[in-house]
Structure 1
């Protein structure tokens, strides 16, 4: 999945779609152009992933529309969504109704995947300001796994009702770290264990039928001391597929721009994610996408076993697109 600016595709995005045939896009940045303006940009972008050359396979079009500080699409036709911590004060049924409207607004511009809700549990209001990726921005639904589950799943139900696939993130949780993986390296959660109570919201999301799950970029030494989460088969395969029984799309967090993964060569990041059991590598720096792509191609050509993992991931994406009505 390659990124493209919400204000219009650039040359790097179009190269990924037109030349490398990347089949899925993430709409990034910020826009206040409203439904009409953003729909025109999305439609122009999607036109590059359609027609005979894609054999009738249309793209997953994703964005980040959580609310509060994390709302990419605004302007006429889009409601201003409150922060998740404020959404957590609503009755779950009321939040589900709100999320249905928010999802309908996304669907009206051609978005079919929302990289939300955040299912991370911040362990208390006093700690929230120290929790750089989640609590600092009010992205948490509450301070207990039960509170996060009830309201995160209400948000997810609303998105599903609108025909937009929700994504539970960031497994196995970013609520206990103090640094943000987007802008810092060495982000480590030295508390969470494999059977941790804070994993329950993700388990509940899987049991409720949430079709996408995103992996955190942090290190969890009490689970796998040797690998960052997106490159850990213990986390991606054994826990998500095994412990949770999840059968949907496992998407990485951004593994192009994130400082946390800067120690891993770009051409290895997609390879290591798919090898760990992931389904779709997310690259939010379209200029780096060709390096990730070439790394995947080279590894598949060199290793039949890895090529089989790529085929399995691609098949799962196609099955998910069939279920979403994206195959003609």
Structure 2
């Protein structure tokens, strides 16, 4: 994302099991770099049906500028056309202001036809990447360097959980479980990695997420299958990034912490926008069925919710507008589609494109319903 940048009730558990039993669709190929996909996704003449527009919206995460939720966002929530909202520093200028904003968002959700709570999320990693003041104050690097790293990671996760829950939020887009390879590179420079040993990173990331989720705030492991080899200037928020890591190394280092996170019960996984030629030479991870469905779901066995990084990221410049990107991500197997440019219209455009693709058959209905079931189960399990 644009960074620097209860246990579940029985209905939620049943929904998760139902979703897990639905086969993941193979997913059609997204367009290679420099080309827009052909077919229905590239056309905007056909108006999506009311039903598909509502369903598509339940996979979209909105964002907005400034301290006050705008009418367009509140209306989308009231109509049940939003899965959630991501909050940034500009949306949280003081405790009282944030309480007012979250109250407005929750009230809109209470007026909607959707019974499940709205997903209210932010990036609260610790260290330099914190949208709210307070815990966790230590960065991942500082946590790993502490006398008792596992205990410290657990304290940080509990601190993040309490902080977000007290503010009325229920999803944290953390922890980062990228394993960096070169000191001072993109992830290490910002102190966002627990280290260079994938087993240590997996252990500390799992301690963080387990403590946080024990307090009712869902955690997100990111950025699959790993940004640890990105150079300091290789920021996917800003431009396309290709990471030519050999497949054996990518699986042994980049993906290994996700095994631990999945075993620890992580609720969400965010995919990277980098291209990994060893897996898919043409598409970023979050647009690639090979990465999302092949590696994450089939190979590692993840059954939770997948979430994109920012659909407006510079890394996706060759892949069309926000709507085109949203359809390609959904087709690849991403569940939640994150629009974090603080422009509600981008989210509306993404929802319209996904709805049109659903109506036209560009998106497989069974796969779409399975994604929506996973999101609904997540929402039902949170306060």
Pair in the same fold by TM > 0.5: yes
Counterpart check, 1:63 vs 2:146:
no
Q: Which has the higher contact order (CA 8 A, sep 6+)?
A: 2
Report how many residues are paired. Answer: 314
Shift of 1:307: 2.9
Shift of 1:288: 1.2
8 Å contact kept, 1:252–1:280: yes
Unaligned runs of 5+ in 2: 1-60
**1:269–1:32: structure 2 CA closer, same or farther, 3 Å change rule?**
closer
TM-score, reference length from structure 1 = 0.89
Residues 141-166 of structure 1 show CA distances to partners (whole Å, capped at 9, x for unaligned) of 11211221121111112211221111
Q: Choose which of 133, 138, 160 in structure 1 pairs with 2:213.
A: 160
Counterpart check, 1:259 vs 2:317:
no
8 Å contact kept, 1:159–1:166: yes
8 Å contact kept, 1:30–1:73: no
Counterpart check, 1:229 vs 2:285:
yes
Counterpart check, 1:321 vs 2:373:
no
8 Å contact kept, 1:35–1:105: no
**1:69–1:31: structure 2 CA closer, same or farther, 3 Å change rule?**
farther
Shift of 1:112: 0.6
Which whole-Å CA distance do the structure 2 matches of 1:270 and 1:255 have between them? 7
**1:15–1:173: structure 2 CA closer, same or farther, 3 Å change rule?**
same
Aligned to 2:108: 48
Counterpart check, 1:103 vs 2:161:
yes
TM-score, reference length from structure 2 = 0.77
Residues 45-90 of structure 1 show CA distances to partners (whole Å, capped at 9, x for unaligned) of 2222223x3232221111000012210011xxx3461211111123
Counterpart check, 1:136 vs 2:212:
no
Which whole-Å CA distance do the structure 1 matches of 2:286 and 2:362 have between them? 22
8 Å contact kept, 2:239–2:317: no
Q: CA RMSD in A?
A: 2.0
8 Å contact kept, 1:268–1:292: yes
Shift of 1:21: 1.6
Which structure features the higher share of strand residues? 1
Which whole-Å CA distance do the structure 1 matches of 2:80 and 2:168 have between them? 22
Which whole-Å CA distance do the structure 2 matches of 1:80 and 1:97 have between them? 8
